Structure 1
Amino acid sequence: MRHTCIDSFSGAGGLSLGLSKAGFEILFSFDIDELSIKTQKLNTKYFNHEAVCTDITQINSKQLMKQLGIKRGVLTLFAGGPPCQGFSIQRIGEDSDDRNNLIFEFMKKVVDFLPKFFLMENVPGIAGKRGKEILEDAIAFAEQNGYAINRQILDAQDYGVPQRRRRLIIVGERMLNGKLKFQFPKAIGKKFTVRDIISKLPKPPIDGKDHAKISLHRSDKLSKINLERIKYLKQGQGREFLPEKLLAECHKIDSSVIGHRNVYGRMSWDEVAPTITARFDSFTRGLFGHPEQHRSISLREGALLQTFPMDFDFCGNKVDVARQIGNAVPPKLAYAIGKKIIQSIV
């Protein structure tokens, strides 16, 4: 039996990667970011589906179904993670953020294709004060069109991902004969640490060049003050442990309330990593310093902590690549959810 899938808002392909490993055949993916699509096309070892750079509002559902040779109601899964920055707790946003309308655009495409299941990944903040009304309207629309809704906040560290990463997962199951089978995956028990994943990597060059044998394993030279800061810190410590002379000026005003405490920080070897964000390439943005070396973690280390394979490559400059990695659904989390969806079918 074919388990077919369309991946919307696909980014660099983390969701597709995990779902395909779980047993899904990715028929088509799309994203508005050109570099993310180029990344998918670059990784022919993992992807052979058509990936297109386009806006979801430009997708003609009937035309795409004809192109893919499927009819309405045949697709197994319509998946995606509509951009979530409008709801992120790291951003003071408003419900009027244009990106929030994409939640409903996603659900409209679900109803167009009428798949057996849909999967939506987003930040927990979408269910909070600012996003609740938008989310509930979208869910109500899905329910009106025959879907039972399963929702749960999952932490990626419970599914083989070596980082704290809480995400709201919504799985819609089309009600057939009144029988609903989907259940969220149970935690696997074992937690993987930073040491488990990156401790065996050699030191990267500090001149911004890639390691000779490991792509994207490089380290930019820190400024004098940032080098002093990271040298002062022990594993797991952030800027609240810095002496006043090493604090940024904004943190000297009132270090207890301004900004996030865990910036200018180091990871701990024997703990899971913090959430890998779109700016994990700088330890000034979080606990993204190497546990013992005086540098930020490399792009490759960030990708590994997101559970991308060692040979998975990315297109773009440093900032582009960090953004693609940080915004991705960890493939191992996608795999765990995908497996449970397939088990619900057979």
Structure 2
Amino acid sequence: MGSSSPEIAAIDLFCGAGGLSLGLQQAGIDVVAGFDFDASCRFAYETNIGAEFVHADIAEVTAQQLNDAWRDAPVRLLAGCAPCQPFSSHRRGADTSEEKNWSLLQHFGRLIEETLPDHVTMENVVRLMRMPVFAEFVKTLRDNDYEVDYRTVHGPAFGLAQSRRRLILVASRLGVVRVPDAVESTMGVSVREVIGSLPTLAHGQSDPDDAMHRARRLSPINLERMRASVPGGTWRDWPEELLAPCHRKASGASFQAFYGRMEWDKPAPTITTQSFNFGTGRFGHPEQDRSLTLREAAMLQGFPRSYAFVADGVEPAMSTVGKLIGNAVPPPFGRAVGEVFVQRTMTVV
């Protein structure tokens, strides 16, 4: 890919399938390497991003490895999205104080202190802002002369057809930087605009031209539930005989988005690692009697239709590829922060 600001070289920690890296490239930044502990990310990362994939545990990554990847780049960016399970709202009420993933953000901070890149960005779940580990991370940046800004952003304001709210942090040693509230985008922000042109499928059916466009087969009872569901509705629209045991409990009122259909002319809900599964959220297709395909989930995350997650001729495993998609940083977020750093760099270099 071409670069309007080739002097910025980026390393993507916790790179996953390359969502953040892709966005940075779209902003004109040269992504030189991605690091991740999950080897299943390698194909998608190297094939689409065209940068080196380093299979490594961040606890063992050294400053020398990062410096070697950056080489002699005049402006260096360190980016990353530490796995967010300990901070997720889905874990509310759980005791996560002893989880090893708490240390991942601390190792991110360690590598910043040891290499002092010109720019830093981090994306994560909103709840992280209330955690002591985040305050410690911000303090590390400020103690090392970084200007820091962070805020919650909403997907549609960034051209993402998804009601996803995330924490974005930007930091620079080259001057003040700010997370934008919104960006101009030509991307569609409704489900229809993004996936409406894909081939029609029945549940259990695959697109012969795209192995990623395959719908999970529904059980007979879930097919009946799908047919009884209306876009934007809940399981309360179903006849009594279709209700699951959890719906009959008082606690079932808290889970009204499960077994739901999306709406054509609104953004999708937050795409998760299980977005191909009708029972885990509002992941029913707006009008076809099936759940989302992996391709649809990826496109709603902001990946282009051509993004390759598996090699040609390989049937994608729903759980494996679903995890790559759901855990990815949406590329539109990466592009927005990349443009912040390009603009900052152009004013000082």
Q: Normalization by structure 2: what TM-score?
A: 0.90
- Give the CA deviation at 1:97: 2.0
Q: d(CA) in 2 for partners of 1:344 and 1:88?
A: 32
Contact 1:75 1:113 in 2 (8 A): no
- Aligned match of 2:52: 50
Contact 2:10 2:79 in 1 (8 A): yes
- Give the CA deviation at 1:100: 1.6
Within a 5 Å distance, the mapping from 1:277-316 to structure 2 comes to 277-315=272-310, 316=316
State whether structure 2 residue 175 is matched by structure 1 residue 170: no
- Give the CA deviation at 1:70: 3.5
Distance change (3 Å), C-alpha of 1:170 and 1:319: same
- Aligned match of 2:158: 159
- Aligned match of 1:203: 200
Counterpart secondary structure, 2:127: helix
- Runs of 4+ in structure 1 deviating by more than 6 angstroms, as ranges, are none
CA shift digits 1:118-158 (9 cap, x unpaired): 00000001123xxx211101211121111121011001111
- Aligned match of 1:8: 13
Distance change (3 Å), C-alpha of 1:327 and 1:63: closer
Q: d(CA) in 1 for partners of 2:142 and 2:244?
A: 50
State whether structure 2 residue 319 is matched by structure 1 residue 319: yes
- Give the CA deviation at 1:256: 4.8
Amino acid paired to 1:265: G
- Give the CA deviation at 1:205: 5.7
Q: Which runs of 5+ in 2 are unaligned?
A: 1-5, 311-315
Q: d(CA) in 2 for partners of 1:139 and 1:324?
A: 28
- Give the CA deviation at 1:206: 4.0
Counterpart secondary structure, 2:86: coil
- Aligned match of 2:313: none
CA shift digits 1:55-109 (9 cap, x unpaired): 11121212441354238xx542100000001111112342332112111111111
- Aligned match of 1:24: 29
Within a 5 Å distance, the mapping from 1:228-307 to structure 2 comes to 228-257=224-253, 259-307=254-302
Q: d(CA) in 2 for partners of 1:237 and 1:345?
A: 47
Alignment coverage as a number of residue pairs: 333
Distance change (3 Å), C-alpha of 1:143 and 1:68: closer
Distance change (3 Å), C-alpha of 1:63 and 1:298: closer
State whether structure 2 residue 45 is matched by structure 1 residue 40: yes
Amino acid paired to 1:271: K
Counterpart secondary structure, 1:240: helix
**RMSD of Structure 2 on Structure 1 (CA):** 1.9
- Give the CA deviation at 1:111: 1.7
CA shift digits 1:198-239 (9 cap, x unpaired): 11111236445x311223111122101101111101111122
Distance change (3 Å), C-alpha of 1:64 and 1:329: closer
CA shift digits 1:301-336 (9 cap, x unpaired): 111111111111113511111111111111122111
Distance change (3 Å), C-alpha of 1:321 and 1:67: closer
Q: d(CA) in 2 for partners of 1:283 and 1:263?
A: 7
Q: d(CA) in 1 for partners of 2:128 and 2:283?
A: 25
- Aligned match of 2:90: 90
Amino acid paired to 2:337: I
- Aligned match of 1:80: 80
Q: d(CA) in 2 for partners of 1:333 and 1:189?
A: 11
Distance change (3 Å), C-alpha of 1:255 and 1:83: same
CA shift digits 1:17-44 (9 cap, x unpaired): 0101101111111111111122212x2x
Counterpart secondary structure, 1:302: helix
Counterpart secondary structure, 2:42: helix
Counterpart secondary structure, 2:87: coil
- Between stretches 217-226 and 56-65, larger displacement belongs to 56-65
- Aligned match of 1:342: 342
Amino acid paired to 1:200: S
Contact 1:240 1:262 in 2 (8 A): no
Contact 2:149 2:177 in 1 (8 A): no
Distance change (3 Å), C-alpha of 1:11 and 1:254: same
What is the identity percentage for the equivalent residue pairs of Structure 1 and Structure 2?
35
CA shift digits 1:263-282 (9 cap, x unpaired): 00100001000000110011
Q: d(CA) in 2 for partners of 1:88 and 1:183?
A: 22
- Aligned match of 1:188: 184
Counterpart secondary structure, 1:90: helix
Q: Which runs of 5+ in 1 are unaligned?
A: none
Q: Normalization by structure 1: what TM-score?
A: 0.91
- Give the CA deviation at 1:187: 4.0
Contact 1:103 1:138 in 2 (8 A): yes
- Between stretches 311-320 and 192-201, larger displacement belongs to 311-320
- Aligned match of 2:3: none
